[in-house]
Amino acid sequence: MTVKVTFLGGLGEIGRNCAAIEHDGKIALVDVGLMFPEEDMLGVDLVFPNWGWLVERAGDVECVVLTHGHEDHIGALGYFLRDVPVPVYGTRLTVELAKGRVDELGVDADFRQVAANRWVECGPFRWKHIPVSHSVPDATAVAFDTPEGIVLHSGDFKLDPTPIDSRPTDLPAFAALGRRGVRLLLSDSTNAERPGFVPSERSLSEPIYDIIRDAPGRVVAACFSSHIHRVQQIADAGIRAGRTVAFFGRSMHRNTAVGTDLGVLRLPEEAVVDIADLLELPANRQLLITTGSQGEPFAALSLMAQGRHKFVDVQDGDTILISATPIPGNETAVSKVISRLLKRGATVFHGRNAEVHVSGHGARNELQTFLNVVRPRAFVPVHGEYRHLHAHAALAREMGVPWVEVLEDGDAVVLDGKKTTVQRRAVDAGYVYLDGTTVGDVQRGVLRDRGHLADDGVVVVTVAVDHQTGTLVYGPELDSHGVMDDPAPVLAKAAEAVRQVVLDHGTKRNGDVASLRQGIRQAAARVVRAETARRPVILPVVLEL
pLDDT tens digits, 534-544 = 778 888 888 87
* Shared domain check, 139 and 259: no
Give the CATH number for residue 466.
3.10.20.580
Report if residue 451 sits inside a domain.
no
In the 8-state DSSP scheme, what is residue 363?
B
pLDDT at position 455: 60
Amino acid 168: pLDDT: 96
**Range of lowest pLDDT (156-160, 269-273, 455-459):** 455-459
Domain-embedded: residue 447: no
What lies within 8 Å, CB to CB, of 65 at 6+ separation is 28, 29, 30, 31, 88, 89, 90, 127, 142
- Of 439, 474, 507, the residue at which a domain comes to its end is 439
pLDDT at 165 over 70: yes
Among the listed ranges 4-13, 31-40, 158-167, which one has the minimum average pLDDT value?
31-40
Mean of the per-residue pLDDT values of the chain: 90
> Residue 37: is its pLDDT beyond 80?
no
Q: Do residues 208 and 238 lie in contact, with contact meaning Cβ atoms separated by under 8 Å?
A: no
pLDDT at 434 over 90: no
Q: Where are the alpha helices (DSSP H) in 202-330?
A: 205-214, 228-240, 250-261, 275-278, 300-305
227 with 165, same domain? no
**% of the chain residues with pLDDT over 70:** 93
Residues 237 and 177 in one domain: no
- Over 60: is that where the pLDDT of 510 sits? no
Q: Which domain holds residue 537?
A: 457-544
Q: Please report which confidence band the pLDDT of residue 42 belongs to, taking 50, 70 and 90 as the band edges.
A: low
**Does one domain contain both 292 and 372?**
no
Write the CATH number for 129.
Answer: 3.60.15.10
Structural domains in the chain (count): 3
d(CA 143, CA 182): 9
328 and 231 housed in the same domain: yes
Four-residue CA torsion sign, 325, 366, 165, 211: negative
Asked whether residue 56 carries a pLDDT value surpassing 70, the answer given is yes
Give yes or no for a contact between 524 and 459, defined as CB atoms under 8 angstroms apart: yes
Same-domain check for residues 413 and 326 = no
Residues 484 and 366 in one domain: no
Whether residue 501 lies inside any domain: the answer is yes
Whether 450 shows a pLDDT value over 70: the answer reads no
Checking if the pLDDT of 524 tops 80, the result is yes
Nearest CA among 149, 170, 137, 190 for reference residue 14: 190
Secondary structure (H, E, C), 186-235: EEECCECCCCCCCCCHHHHHHHHHHHHHHCCCCEEEECCCCCHHHHHHHH
Is 299 exposed, middle or buried, given 0-12, 13-18 or 19+ CB atoms closer than 10 A? buried
Q: Is 188 a catalytic residue?
A: yes
Is pLDDT at 71 greater than 80 in this prediction? yes
Read off the pLDDT of each residue in 183-197 and give the average, rounded to a whole number. Answer: 97
Q: Can you tell me the mean pLDDT for 447-466?
A: 69
The reply to whether 23 belongs to the active site is no
- Predicted local confidence at residue 529, as pLDDT: 84
> Do residues 140 and 275 both lie within one domain?
no
Assess whether pLDDT exceeds 80 at residue 254.
Answer: yes
- CATH number for position 264: 3.40.50.10710
**Could you report the per-residue pLDDT of 333-364, keeping only the tens digit for each?**
899 999 999 999 999 999 889 999 999 999 99
Cβ–Cβ contacts within 10 Å for residue 520, how many?
A: 27
Whether the per-residue pLDDT at 508 is higher than 90: the answer is: no
Q: Which of 2-16, 365-379, 514-528 has the lowest mean pLDDT?
A: 514-528
Which pLDDT band, with edges at 50, 70 and 90, does 509 fall under? low
Q: What angle do CA 265, 271, 273 make, to 5 degrees?
A: 95
- Does residue 335 lie within any of the structural domains? yes
* Helix or strand run (H / E) with residue 402: none
Please give the pLDDT value at position 330. Answer: 80
Residue 449 maps to a domain: no
Residue 401 predicted with pLDDT over 60: yes
pLDDT at residue 447 tops 90: no
Dihedral, 238, 239, 240, 243 alpha carbons, nearest 10: 70
**Which domain-ending residue is among 332, 350, 368?**
350
Which one is predicted more confidently, 490 or 215? 215
Residues 379 and 510 in one domain: no
- Which residue is catalytic, options 70, 309, 361, 392? 361
Give residue 489's identity as a one-letter amino acid code: P
The one catalytic residue among 188, 236, 409, 435: 188
Question: Is 445 among the domain residues?
Answer: no
Q: What's the pTM? A: 0.82
Lowest mean pLDDT among 300-309, 449-458, 532-541: 449-458
Q: What is the mean pLDDT of residues 80-106?
A: 95
CA atoms within 13 A on the CB side of 234: 30
Mark whether 306 and 248 lie in a shared domain: yes
Last residue of a domain, one of 405, 439, 473: 439
Contact call for residues 2 and 26 (beta carbons, < 8 A)? no
Q: Is the pLDDT of residue 197 over 90?
A: yes
Please give the pLDDT value at position 475: 76
Same domain, 280 and 321: yes
Least confident of 159-163, 347-351, 484-488: 484-488
Q: Would you put residue 470 in left (φ > 0), alpha (ψ -120 to 50) or beta?
A: left
Q: How far apart are the first and last CA of the chain?
A: 70
Is 140 inside any structural domain? yes
* 431 part of a folded domain: yes
